[in-house]
Amino acid sequence: MTILDKILQQKELEVQELKAIYSGLEAEPLKKRPSLYDQFMGSSNMNVIAEVKRASPSKGMINQDVDPVAQAKAYATAGAGAISVLTDRTFFKGSMADLSAVAQAVEVPLLCKDFMIDEVQIDAAKEHGASIILLIAAALPEARLKELYDYAESQELDVLFEVHNEEEAETALRVGAKIVGINNRNLKTFEVDLAVTERVASLLQQTDRLLISESGMKIAEDVERVREAGAKGILVGETLMRAEDIQQTMNNFRIPFTKVAK
């Protein structure tokens, strides 16, 4: 059984618990946030989705005792275009409480980073202040992905649709995803390779699609590589969680799209 299978099995249990709490409840967004899509498409520098990530199955503990609010505020001050909060408890040591706390502290678009398999998780994400949810192509059959995508849109949430290979990119196209995240990390083997963005992005080039390159970004050269492949944004967790100087790291990543005249 792959780690993704294990995570999805755990999610089935969580969904049962959530259903007991949320069924029939109309979620109200805590506050209106700017559109990730509009903001990233209109920007002249690389956009960063900065992630609050305490731990991961591939890296173990990253920064377990982080104060998510202080971390998120530091991200926002440093110029993050959006913030991602990992809410999975079992494998990433996050929580919905982390998400709510961050939601109250920052105004930028906010991603609930979790493994969505049911509408009730989308309700819970909205209830805790998220403006964006993640859908992982590898996690569900296409018909179910489409249902959850449409449900999120009906709730006025943005969707980051995550793909890892050409086949999943085709799924993203058929689902009609406007914001596509290309994950450089294989969720089954944990292998990270920026060439994934280069390969998969070539299938998704279309002027109105927003491409985000996810995972494994460490230095400015990494960001240059995915920029050349067409990414308008990057999703960064570990490097920012371990950064001694968040502002400095952010500045290194926020490279311009247009060449500066000499």
Ligand X SMILES: O=P(O)(O)OC[C@@H](O)[C@@H](O)c1c[nH]c2ccccc12
Q: In the chain, at which residue ranges do the beta strands (DSSP E only) sit?
A: 47-52, 55-56, 60-61, 82-86, 110-113, 132-136, 158-163, 179-183, 210-214, 233-236
User: What's the Cα-to-Cα distance from 162 to each of 18, 107, 139, 169, rounded to whole Å?
Assistant: 23, 24, 10, 9
**For the window 165-204, what string marks contact with ligand X as x by the rule CB under 6 A?**
------------------x---------------------
Write down the least CB distance from residue 218 to ligand X, Å: 8
**Residue 113 contacts ligand X per CB under 6 A:** yes
201: Cβ contacts below 8 Å, ≥ 6 apart: 182, 211, 213, 226, 229, 230, 231
DSSP state of 185: B
Write down the least CB distance from residue 113 to ligand X, Å: 6
Q: Is the CB of 146 or the CB of 185 nearer to ligand X?
A: 185
Cα–Cα distance, 74 to 104 (Å, whole number): 14
Write down the least CB distance from residue 121 to ligand X, Å: 13
Write down the least CB distance from residue 50 to ligand X, Å: 9
Write down the least CB distance from residue 172 to ligand X, Å: 14
**For the window 133-172, what string marks contact with ligand X as x by the rule CB under 6 A?**
---x-------------------------x----------
Cα–Cα distance, 196 to 198 (Å, whole number): 5
* Tokens 């995550």 found at: 162
Q: Is the CB of 59 or the CB of 174 nearer to ligand X?
A: 59
Write down the least CB distance from residue 134 to ligand X, Å: 6
Q: Is the CB of 178 or the CB of 208 nearer to ligand X?
A: 178
Return the bridge partners of 234, or none: 48, 213
Cα–Cα distance, 75 to 83 (Å, whole number): 8
Torsion angle (degrees, nearest 10) of CA 75, 238, 44, 169: -130
Q: Do 59 and 238 form a contact (C-beta atoms < 8 A)?
A: yes
Write down the least CB distance from residue 104 to ligand X, Å: 23
Q: Is the CB of 23 or the CB of 193 nearer to ligand X?
A: 193
Q: Name the residue whose CB lies closest to ligand X.
A: 237
Interface of this chain with ligand X, residues 204 to 243, rule: CB under 6 A: 214-217, 235-239
Interface of this chain with ligand X, residues 24 to 83, rule: CB under 6 A: 51, 53
The residues that touch ligand X, with contacts defined as CB under 6 A, are: 51, 53, 113, 136, 162, 183, 214-217, 235-239
